Chain A
Amino acid sequence: MSAPAKPQPHEVVIKVRQLVNAFGSQVLHDHLDLDVYRGEVLGVVGGSGTGKSVLMRSIIGLNEIKSGTIEVFGRNTDHLSEAQWREIEQRWGVLFQEGALFSSQTIAENIQVPLREYLHMPQDLMNEIASMKLSLVGLPENAAAKHPSELSGGMKKRAGLARALALDPEIVFLDEPTAGLDPISANMFDQLIKDLQRSLNLTVFMVTHDLDTLRATTDRIAVLVDKHVVVGTIDELRKNPHPWIQEYFSGPRGRAAA
């Protein structure tokens, strides 16, 4: 499913309020608030161990939160029945760090898993759609019959993205999409995300460390510092006096990416 024809400005699709996450005595998120708007690309950055991935996993329901509320599409994910979860899960796609492709299945079969799970679709149409998704993420035809172990890291990520896009979701979660890719592949992946976001009108929630990716793709950036998030565009964040944010965006790498 794609967005309505006229996206309202600042329609909030993910609303996190007062989120608390802690492991043992270590508090990761202390009453954290975050809004994600429809149709934007939001980058999430932060130092190691600040809970970027945990934030993402909390939103998609893989991590039990300590307290707080998370609303996706205006519904509190804490109060959802099994059936409602399945409904919401069809409206988002997740790309895990290493692609998380099912190793016993070919790439084509991997892409068809969500279609098979949720829709009664004839096999020939599924085959057409799988082929189309492969083209969208820029994988060659012959990748379809291969198993994940036969693909390179970058191709696995593309295939994982194709599977995440199988149901034409409204939101896509990307966990470090360019980590482990060479700079050329990473640039191509950035371009791909931007293109897909534009053509499919996606909302993208992206955890990343890659400053080039942030600059190339994101509309806004959420920085995890001091157990909260600071949200803004790159230019706004550059003016933020917080030492970590200063170091991040105006350090040698930050300047190089600008």
Chain B
Amino acid sequence: MSTAHDATLPDARARFRMERKPRALRLIAEGEWTTREAARLSTALKHIDLGDAASAEIDGTQLERIDSAGAWLLVRTKREWEQQGKTVGPITLAPLYDALLHAVEHEHTAPPVTIHNRHTIRAFVERLGRATVHGLYQGMGIMGYLGRVTVEATEAVYHPRGNLRFAALIHQVEETGINALPIVGLLAFLIGIVLAYQGADQLKRFGAEIFTINLLGVGLLREIAGLITAIIIAGRSGSAFTAQIGTMRVNEEIDAMQTIGINIVDALVLPRVIGLAIALPFLTFYADIMGLIGGAVMCYFDLAITPEVFLRQLQEAISLNTFLVGMIKAPVFAMIIGLVGCYEGLQVERNAASVGRLTTRSVVESVFLVIVLDAAFSIIFSIVGI
């Protein structure tokens, strides 16, 4: 090893050389010992062969300059040699650097930091476990919260002490319902077109294209219109609930309300949940109609089915129950979206980052729950035989 003995790194900006006397050793540092040079110096210093020297000295007086990383390397070398049983004299530096050397040598005794690798299998299993436990707590939290809201809501209905805020309620109906009309309408219309087109394409092969209308009627009214509306509203209003309440949390507005004695559930949660529960069924109905119009338009252009024929066939295809099955789910979806949105908003901690994180979580959770509930409804309806 070329660095093991005397002159080391002769041409570099930072260098050192070793002077050897019998049983004694002298490290002379030269040049600029800076952070930039630290990596090279560090390796070279670790390869110094101490031989049989019993004592050593570290001389930095000839350094042109040194910074804290350079000073650390000198201090580290000294400590390593001492650990190997050598007697090491004090590090000598130009007086200008006394304060630096003192700070690094006497105020720093901590071991190196450890950086955890987050990409090991162990870390993955740990994350999985944490996420599972967190999920369970989350579920418990939502259940407890659902109970609280139910109690408060019942109380608001049975013992109205003027705590249901009608102005806020109406505002929420407008915000979540009326303002959502354009997007819900447009998307339902487009879904109707797509469904009619695909249905017609397949059914044409059997000469049964008239049944496209049955597919549209049953599919839209029972399932798709309600589901699409709920998913749009989860993305649009559920996220807004979390962001609004979360921001109030960050600004300590919620704390302020509590100290004034305002009931958070009354003031913030109930208007939103009830408002959404009023708005979503109307939106679903609106989506039903828009979807059917989209389908009728497609049937007219693609299959040359006139609106009169469309309506007659539709009347045969669907019953009142088909429509009601779709509608009855809407308030339930609304409750879920509203409750999850408000719950996650109240979970926000007092930093801006958690608003974003919980808003994302609120949307994912409410969409997930909406679809799970929809499946549950399907099972229940098939058992009941509707």
Partners in one complex: yes
Chain A residues engaging chain B, CB cutoff 8 angstroms? 1-5, 103, 106, 108-109, 112, 115, 119-125, 127-136, 138, 141, 144-145, 149, 165-168, 195-196, 198-201
Check B42 for interface membership: any CB of A closer than 8 A. yes
B203 to chain A, nearest CB (A): 52
Contact A167 B112 (CB under 8 A): no
| 17 residue pairs from A and B, CB less than 8 Å apart | A1-B32, A1-B36, A2-B66, A2-B68, A5-B94, A119-B36, A119-B38, A123-B115, A125-B39, A125-B42, A129-B72, A131-B108, A132-B108, A136-B108, A145-B113, A199-B99, A200-B67
A86 to chain B, nearest CB (A): 13
Selected from B65, B72, B104, the residue in CB contact (under 8 A) with A5 is B65
Check B26 for interface membership: any CB of A closer than 8 A. no
Docked complex: B62-120 residues within 8 A CB-CB of A:
64-69, 72, 76, 94, 96, 99-100, 102-104, 107-116
Contact A3 B112 (CB under 8 A): no
Find chain A residues with CB under 8 A from B35 CB.
1, 115, 119, 129, 166-168
Find chain B residues with CB under 8 A from A112 CB.
115
Most chain A CB within a 10 A radius of its CB, from B36, B64, B353: B36
Contact B116 A130 (CB under 8 A): no
A4 vs B42: C-alpha distance when bound (angstroms): 22
B343 to chain A, nearest CB (A): 21
Check B351 for interface membership: any CB of A closer than 8 A. yes
Check B34 for interface membership: any CB of A closer than 8 A. yes
Contact B72 A2 (CB under 8 A): no
By secondary structure, the A interface counts as: helix
| Contact A145 to B99, CB < 8 A, known contacts A125-B39, A168-B34, A200-B67 | no
Contact A121 B38 (CB under 8 A): yes
Closest to B63 in A: A5
A128 vs B69: C-alpha distance when bound (angstroms): 9
Find chain B residues with CB under 8 A from A5 CB.
64-65, 94, 96
A168 vs B39: C-alpha distance when bound (angstroms): 14
Closest to B72 in A: A132
Docked complex: B29-55 residues within 8 A CB-CB of A:
32, 34-36, 38-39, 42-43
A141 vs B114: C-alpha distance when bound (angstroms): 10
Find chain A residues with CB under 8 A from B116 CB.
106, 145
Chain B residues engaging chain A, CB cutoff 8 angstroms? 32, 34-36, 38-39, 42-43, 64-69, 72, 76, 94, 96, 99-100, 102-104, 107-116, 349, 351, 353
A115 vs B35: C-alpha distance when bound (angstroms): 9
| Contact A201 to B96, CB < 8 A, known contacts A131-B110, A168-B35 | yes
Contact A122 B39 (CB under 8 A): yes
Contact A135 B115 (CB under 8 A): no
Contact A199 B103 (CB under 8 A): yes
Contact A127 B112 (CB under 8 A): yes
Find chain B residues with CB under 8 A from A128 CB.
72, 76, 112
Contact A103 B353 (CB under 8 A): yes
Selected from A108, A122, A167, the residue in CB contact (under 8 A) with B113 is A108
Most chain B CB within a 10 A radius of its CB, from A106, A134, A135: A135
| Contact A2 to B111, CB < 8 A, known contacts A149-B351, A199-B100 | no
Find chain A residues with CB under 8 A from B109 CB.
135
Contact A3 B72 (CB under 8 A): no
Find chain B residues with CB under 8 A from A130 CB.
112-113
Contact A129 B110 (CB under 8 A): no
Find chain B residues with CB under 8 A from A133 CB.
68
A168 vs B32: C-alpha distance when bound (angstroms): 13
Find chain B residues with CB under 8 A from A134 CB.
110, 113
Find chain A residues with CB under 8 A from B67 CB.
1-2, 168, 200
Q: A136-B104, A141-B113, A201-B100 are in contact. List 7 more A-B contacts (CB 8 A).
A: A131-B112, A132-B69, A133-B68, A141-B111, A149-B353, A166-B35, A168-B68
Contact A131 B111 (CB under 8 A): yes
Find chain B residues with CB under 8 A from A123 CB.
115
A201 vs B39: C-alpha distance when bound (angstroms): 22
A145 vs B110: C-alpha distance when bound (angstroms): 13
B24 to chain A, nearest CB (A): 27
Contact B39 A120 (CB under 8 A): yes
A164 to chain B, nearest CB (A): 13
Contact B64 A127 (CB under 8 A): no
A48 to chain B, nearest CB (A): 21
Contact A132 B351 (CB under 8 A): no
Contact A122 B114 (CB under 8 A): no
B90 to chain A, nearest CB (A): 17
Find chain A residues with CB under 8 A from B115 CB.
106, 108-109, 112, 123, 127
| Contact A1 to B111, CB < 8 A, known contacts A121-B39, A198-B99 | no
Closest to A138 in B: B107
Find chain B residues with CB under 8 A from A4 CB.
64-65
Contact A129 B351 (CB under 8 A): no
A120 vs B43: C-alpha distance when bound (angstroms): 13
Contact A168 B351 (CB under 8 A): no
Closest to A166 in B: B35
| Contact A145 to B114, CB < 8 A, known contacts A122-B42, A199-B103, A200-B68 | yes
A82 vs B34: C-alpha distance when bound (angstroms): 23
A94 vs B69: C-alpha distance when bound (angstroms): 19
Find chain A residues with CB under 8 A from B69 CB.
129, 132, 168
Closest to A128 in B: B112
A91 to chain B, nearest CB (A): 11
